[in-house]
Structures are given as structure tokens and as C-alpha cells.
Amino acid sequence: MISAGLDVGSRTIKLVTFDAVSSSSLITETGANPLRRCRELMSGINYERLVVTGYGRHLVAPALGGEIVSEIRAFAAGARHLYPDCRTIIDIGGQDCKVILLTADGQVQKFEMNDRCAAGTGKFLEIMAATLEVNISTLGNLALSASKTVRINSLCTVFAESEVVSLIARGEESGAIALGLHHAIATRIATMVRRVGIKERAVFAGGAALNPCLYRLLVDNFGVGLTVPPEPQTVGAVGAAILAQNFRTDIDGIENTK
């Protein structure tokens, strides 16, 4: 039996498939037609069960014959599959960030999610990188190379971009500005973590987990280590595939919790 999990995010779509002996994963841009992109990813895959999560789940699942599960449930299942002792999940995605606290047996105990604006998300970093005229993949290393930092007063993407432009006009170094942006995001995530709580093992998921500066600042803020999976972008899709593999009629038990 092949079970498949799709995480249809705002920026990327992640597909994970499991069978009796192996697993595989694929990532593609969401684009303007996520359903078409999902069909392209699923082409040629003879899956028996499909579970869909992420922003586009309500669009994609009915069209492809899949079940819907919340992002919180999918990330909890995926993190526990990858790390059975996981108690905390920090996910920074394209346009949202979430912190999930799990019980000792892997149930969702508490969570907080920022999905109303791009502040503190991958999209925020993407826009700031463009303003600084650097590639998003090098922004973290640019911040780590800075000998000083500057304060960024706003995490609103529009206001922060205007603030960065003003700092550039004042002659501030790009590295110092980049480090200030990372400090602002780390502070916001740390506030969410304090409200939810943190217990080890803590798993750092999402594309932002590949950012070395953000990783370092979060570790410094929390005082505990963070585990970054080999493919941090696919944790939600892994969870969806695991739930498909262990299909139950109550799979959408916490769908209304986002």
C-alpha cells in the first residue's frame, strides 16, 4: 500500500509517499494554480490513501479524493514519526509560524499560530532579502558575518521594508541590517514559545530552519537545543502520509483548530 501526504502551503507544496519498504519526497512551488501543481506531483503515483494539509487542503483534497487534516495535527504526527521523543515543534513557514507543545504520548497539548500577517515568516525574510539585494539562501550567513546589529522596530512587512530602506540610506551595512531583522523575528518567535511552553526534544521545522542565523538566535533565546530534520520543509507532509498510513475515520478530529 502506498500512502501519500500533501502539504499544500502558501509558498511550496510538499509531497511525501510511504510504502512497505521506502519513502520519497518532492517539493515544488505553489504558484497560481496549486491544484494543477498537486496533480503534476501526484502523476504516476498509484496511492491507496491520501491525506492533505496546509492552506490549500480544502481545494485539493476533494479534487484528488483525499482526506483533510489540520496543520497542527499533521506537524505533530510528522515530528513524532521523525523523533519519537519530540515534545515541542517550532515551524516557520512561508506565510505563517506555529509553536506546538505535545504531551509525553504525542498528543497536542497547546499551540499558538500566527497566520494573519507575514511578520516573522519566510515571506518576511524573502522580501527583506530582496530589499537588501541578496539571495534568500545567503541572508542568514550575511547576518552572521555582521560585526554589529541595528534595531528593527517593526515586524510589519510593509513598515519593516520602509525601515530597511531608510537604514540603507543612512549608510548602515547590509549585514548589520540583516542581523537586526533576524533578532526581530527571533524575539517574536520566543514570545510565542513563552506563551505555549517548551520541552525537549524541540524540533525546528519549515524552510526557515535552514537559516543558520535564525537557528542560532532561537537556541540562544530558548536555552535548549533545536533539532532540524534533514528535510525540515516536509514535516507536515510526513505527518499527513503517516496519518494516511494509519487511516482512521476520525482523522480530522481537530480540523477546526487550523
Give me the architecture of the 86-228 domain, per CATH.
Answer: 2-Layer Sandwich (3.30)
Sequential DSSP letters for 110-154: EEEEE-SS-TTSHHHHHHHHHHTTS-GGGHHHHHHT-SS------
Compute CA distances 239 → 149, 196, 251, whole Å: 38, 21, 12
pTM greater than 0.85 (yes/no): yes
Block residue for cell numbers 502539504: 7
pLDDT one-digit tens code per residue, 20-71: 778 899 999 999 999 999 999 999 888 999 999 999 999 999 999 999 999 9
Q: Are 152 and 172 in contact (CB under 8 A)?
A: no
Q: Are 136 and 129 in contact (CB under 8 A)?
A: yes
Compute CA distances 88 → 94, 102, 105, 233, 239, whole Å: 20, 6, 12, 16, 15
Rg (CA), the chain: 19
Distance in angstroms (rounded) separating the CA atoms of residues 26 and 99: 25
Tens of pLDDT along the chain (258 residues)?
799 999 999 899 999 999 877 889 999 999 999 999 999 999 988 899 999 999 999 999 999 999 999 999 999 999 999 999 999 999 998 888 999 999 999 999 999 998 666 677 888 999 999 999 999 999 999 999 999 999 999 888 888 999 999 999 999 999 999 999 999 999 989 999 999 999 999 999 999 999 999 999 999 988 889 999 999 999 999 999 999 998 644 444 434 444
Compute CA distances 75 → 32, 68, 91, 240, whole Å: 25, 13, 8, 8
Q: Are 68 and 237 in contact (CB under 8 A)?
A: no
Q: Are 93 and 119 in contact (CB under 8 A)?
A: no
CATH code 3.30.420.40 for 1-83+232-258 = yes
CA atoms within 13 A on the CB side of 180: 22
Q: Quick one: which of 38, 14, 42 has its CA closest to 26?
A: 14
Q: Answer whether 1-83+232-258 and 86-228 agree in fold.
A: yes
Distance in angstroms (rounded) separating the CA atoms of residues 216 and 219: 5
Each domain of the chain, given as residue ranges in start order, spans 1-83+232-258, 86-228
- Residue 196, classed as helix, strand or coil, is helix
